[in-house]
Structure 1
Amino acid sequence: MSGSGTLIVFAAATPGLQSEFRRWYDEVHIPEVRAAYPELSSVERYDLTPSPQFGSCTGWSSVAVYSVVGDPTEVWSRILADASLGRSRSFDYGSVRVIPQNCNPYHEADEAQNVSHGNGHGLL
């Protein structure tokens, strides 16, 4: 499928294993997923910290933004079904929430109407 999109993946570490979670996600999981799925053109993971303004009501300690060439929903379905991907005791699999987004391609007609597409990630 042509086009592009983004997978925004929120996750939490198993309590007490935050350092192990960061190391595994950054040094093991991301390289493994990128090698298995070449349609993932880039991945960035960020630590989330509680904010006095918003508190820690989400329970997530991490968000990863995967840029996808193709349909992000289809790619996520394949990743979920892939039993060959490694797992870690430091990853709280029950915490995962995923937002797949298809990005609208830029059209010359939009320029005439002064339409802005932003950065394509749709993060808050």
Structure 2
Amino acid sequence: MAKALLIAYSSAVPGKDAEYEQWYDEIHIPDVRAAIPSVTGVSRYRLVDLTGGTAAPRYVAVYELGDADVATAAGQLGAAGQAGRLRPTDTIDMTGNPPDLQWFAATGADA
């Protein structure tokens, strides 16, 4: 069981979903895994809009961490960004629906 999670919400620039998906899978996930050694697995999902709305697709990536030290993991991710080791893309929506990161530590008997 994961000891902590990094939940990353993001959206593609309208019309760039395929390029965004390719960048996320082939570039961004490997960059994040290299930055945070405690990442043990990653799953990605796309929001299913059952209302028929026209909002840009929203994605979520769930990074599982093997330890609960989210402060260290967040620091490692920040350091990688500052050092240019997280390669950017112009396919991610940074203004209309910018990325949002949330960190969670396990609770209960398995924590």
TM bin (shorter chain): 0.7 to 0.9
Bigger radius of gyration: 1
Q: Which residue identity does 1:71 align to in structure 2?
A: D
Please name the residue that 1:45 is paired with.
44
Please name the residue that 1:100 is paired with.
103
More strand by share: 1
CA separation in 2, counterparts of 1:98 and 1:88?
Answer: 17
Specify the SS of the correspondent of 1:52.
coil
Unaligned runs of 5+ in 2: none
CA separation in 2, counterparts of 1:73 and 1:66?
Answer: 15
Residues 1:61 and 2:62 are matched in the alignment:
no
CA separation in 1, counterparts of 2:17 and 2:43?
Answer: 17
Unaligned runs of 5+ in 1: 108-119
> Percent identity among equivalent residues?
30
Q: TM-score, normalised by structure 1?
A: 0.69
CA separation in 1, counterparts of 2:24 and 2:4?
Answer: 21
Please name the residue that 2:25 is paired with.
26
**Shift of the alpha carbon at 1:74?**
3.8
8 Å Cα contact 1:10-1:60 kept in structure 2: no
Specify the SS of the correspondent of 1:92.
coil
CA separation in 1, counterparts of 2:62 and 2:54?
Answer: 20
CA RMSD of the aligned region, Å?
2.6
CA separation in 2, counterparts of 1:30 and 1:101?
Answer: 19
Residues 1:89 and 2:86 are matched in the alignment:
no
Q: TM-score, normalised by structure 2?
A: 0.76
More RCO (CA 8 Å, sep 6+): 2
